[in-house]
């Protein structure tokens, strides 16, 4: 069924459409399941609502949080989600996605520490608990733009991601990859010093570690076999692990499906574009057994080439050839299948915002059905972080929700501070 925009007036209309599409969109009329605490890595997560990492492109030139970064995280902390997954923070200067992407260094770690402390204080004061705060550590790889123009660091030449782009693509050497693995040690040490609960070795959306998972065509120790394609991620864990002590933990936000045909996509069935979770499940199990990850954040797609897979939308740069609820169902189905195969590992699901005022009912449906432990919201947190409290009532105020218009993503792509152009328009506009 082809693309159409959001027009549902109640849960039954969504249920009917999902049935027609054969999409897995479990909805629950009540949302109490979202307000049961979860034990995680020696902490209590106060509720099942997580804020997903949302890059703001509003750091200082040196990579420290800027005034708008502070504003975003103050709003997030005051809203009271159980878990805040702090946005992508660069591990090396040349791997920054923009000249204003956050970049954690010896010089600015104190500023990150002040922000993390402040977030805990704000949430504690208003809600009586502190959020678990995980920092996403990244190397933007192919999407590096440290001076505002593309300077791609690519794992292998990937035609589906390069067609129509007139820019040089230099494939990283094995030695460069080793240096980038090692950089995760410094970042992990600084991340712990800054007071985060844990660090995410980012492996999603086709940034460097994620791109390597599909490096079937790369020769040498980082390409071809499963062992080789996962080498960078595991070595990054080993490097970061050397800096880990106490109850600080490592985890990942992982693409379990890229949406590009073999040999250019991870989690994709060879010979079709279907989801194939064989390797993703194996990898998550190994990360749990070898590195003790206490949870996994599951996501999909590529925000540049197939953003509808990553975040189903009404309006974007192109009209997808699938219905948005098919995209929601693909994500929810994969999250649920991973949680089913790994019942002892809390799974954090992605892409709940498309359902707008009904998204708490999807989150509750996923959590109460045991399909995931935590429901992660991205765009909705930009639109109105205070939706967390309103989730108690079930359906949200339609006048305050994300409308999946793509405005925040357009700001990000333009290298401008990102936020909601509809609900926070005094601050953000295209
Ligand atoms: C403006 C913008 C910034 C984002 N920044 C990040 C990021 O730093 N790290 C990340 O893993 N995902 C990032 N994402 C993806 C979101 O975390 C999320 O997966 C996506 O928006 C789908 O979830 P939603 O439907 O709740 O918005 C970003 C998305 C947008 C639109």
Q: Between β-strands 132-138 and 83-90, what pairing exists: parallel, antiparallel or unpaired? A: parallel
Does the beta carbon of 418 lie inside 6 Å of ligand 1? yes
Ligand 1 center from residue 197 Cα (angstroms): 20
State the alpha helices, DSSP H only, in 136-263.
159-162, 174-194, 208-212, 226-229, 231-241
The answer to the question of residue 6 being in a domain is no
The answer to the question of residue 419 being in a domain is no
Q: What is the CATH number of the domain that holds 85?
A: 3.20.20.70
- pLDDT for the residue 397: 96
Does the beta carbon of 299 lie inside 6 Å of ligand 1? yes
Does the beta carbon of 302 lie inside 6 Å of ligand 1? no
Does the beta carbon of 387 lie inside 6 Å of ligand 1? no
- Is the pTM higher than 0.95? The answer reads yes
Ligand 1 center from residue 237 Cα (angstroms): 23
- pLDDT for the residue 168: 87
d(CA 337, CA 343): 10
Does the beta carbon of 381 lie inside 6 Å of ligand 1? no
Question: How many domains, in total, are found in the chain?
Answer: 1
Does the beta carbon of 384 lie inside 6 Å of ligand 1? no
Ligand 1 center from residue 255 Cα (angstroms): 12
Does the beta carbon of 359 lie inside 6 Å of ligand 1? no
The answer to the question of residue 426 being in a domain is no
Does the beta carbon of 350 lie inside 6 Å of ligand 1? yes
Residues 6+ apart with CB under 8 A from 312: 324, 325, 327, 328, 331, 351, 354, 404
Pocket perturbation via mutation, ligand 1, pick of 51, 52, 302 by most ligand atoms within 8 A of CB: 52
Write the Ramachandran bin of 351: left for phi over 0, alpha for psi from -120 to 50, otherwise beta: left
Ligand 1 center from residue 295 Cα (angstroms): 18
* Cβ count near 61 (within 10 Å): 9
- pLDDT for the residue 403: 97
Does the beta carbon of 87 lie inside 6 Å of ligand 1? yes
The answer to the question of residue 124 being in a domain is yes
Structure tokens given for 319: 């009209």
- pLDDT for the residue 355: 98
The answer to the question of residue 424 being in a domain is no
Short-list 23, 3, 48, 74, CA closest to 377: 48
Write the Ramachandran bin of 414: left for phi over 0, alpha for psi from -120 to 50, otherwise beta: alpha
Biggest alpha carbon–alpha carbon distance for the chain: 56
The answer to the question of residue 428 being in a domain is no
- CA 65 centroid distance within chain: 19
Ligand 1 center from residue 312 Cα (angstroms): 11
d(CA 203, CA 296): 11
The answer to the question of residue 397 being in a domain is yes
List, run by run, the mean pLDDT of 10-residue segments along the chain (430 residues): 93 98 98 98 98 98 98 98 98 98 98 98 98 98 97 97 92 98 98 98 98 98 98 98 94 98 97 97 98 98 97 94 97 98 98 98 98 98 97 94 96 96 96
Ligand 1 atom having least distance to the Cα of 205: 11
- pLDDT for the residue 393: 86
Domain range for 42 is: 11-413
d(CA 13, CA 124): 39
Ligand 1 center from residue 54 Cα (angstroms): 5
């Amino acid at each position: 069924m082809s693309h159409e925009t959001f027009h549902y007036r109640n849960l039954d209309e969504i249920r009917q459409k999902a049935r027609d599409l054969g999409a897995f969109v479990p909805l629950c009329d009540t949302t109490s399941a979202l307000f049961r605490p979860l034990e995680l890595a020696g902490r209590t997560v106060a509720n099942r609502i997580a804020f997903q990492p949302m890059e703001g492109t509003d750091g200082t030139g040196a990579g420290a949080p800027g005034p708008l970064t502070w504003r975003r995280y103050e709003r997030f902390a005051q809203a009271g989600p159980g878990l805040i997954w702090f946005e992508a923070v660069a591990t090396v200067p040349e791997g920054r996605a923009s000249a204003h992407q956050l970049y954690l260094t010896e010089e600015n770690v104190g500023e990150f520490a002040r922000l993390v402390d402040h977030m805990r204080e704000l949430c504690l004061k208003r809600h009586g608990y502190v959020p678990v705060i995980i920092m996403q550590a990244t190397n933007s790889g192919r999407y590096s733009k440290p001076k505002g123009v593309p300077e791609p660091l690519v794992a292998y030449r990937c035609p589906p991601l390069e067609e129509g782009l007139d820019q040089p693509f230099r494939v990283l050497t094995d030695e460069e990859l080793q240096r980038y693995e090692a950089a995760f040690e410094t970042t992990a040490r600084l991340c712990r010093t800054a007071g985060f609960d844990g660090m995410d070795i980012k492996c999603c959306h086709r940034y460097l570690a994620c791109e390597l998972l599909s490096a079937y065509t790369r020769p040498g120790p980082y390409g071809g076999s499963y062992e080789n394609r996962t080498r960078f991620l595991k070595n990054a864990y080993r490097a970061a692990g050397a800096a880990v002590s106490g109850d600080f933990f490592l985890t990942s936000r992982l693409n379990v499906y890229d949406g590009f045909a073999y040999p250019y996509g991870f989690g994709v069935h060879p010979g079709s574009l279907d989801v194939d979770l064989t390797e993703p499940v194996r990898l998550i199990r190994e990360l749990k057994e070898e590195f003790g990850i206490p949870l996994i954040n599951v996501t999909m797609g590529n925000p540049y080439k197939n953003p509808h897979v990553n975040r189903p939308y009404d309006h974007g740069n192109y009209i997808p050839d699938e219905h948005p609820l098919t995209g929601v169902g693909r994500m929810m189905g994969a999250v649920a299948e991973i949680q089913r195969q790994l019942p002892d590992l809390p799974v954090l699901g992605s892409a709940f915002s498309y359902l707008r005022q009904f998204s708490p009912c999807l989150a509750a449906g996923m959590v109460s059905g045991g399909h995931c432990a935590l429901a992660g919201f991205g765009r909705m947190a930009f639109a109105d972080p205070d939706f967390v409290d309103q989730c108690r009532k079930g359906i949200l105020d339609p006048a305050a929700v994300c409308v999946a218009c793509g405005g925040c993503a357009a700001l990000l792509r333009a290298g401008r501070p990102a936020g909601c152009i509809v609900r926070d328009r005094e601050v953000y506009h295209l």
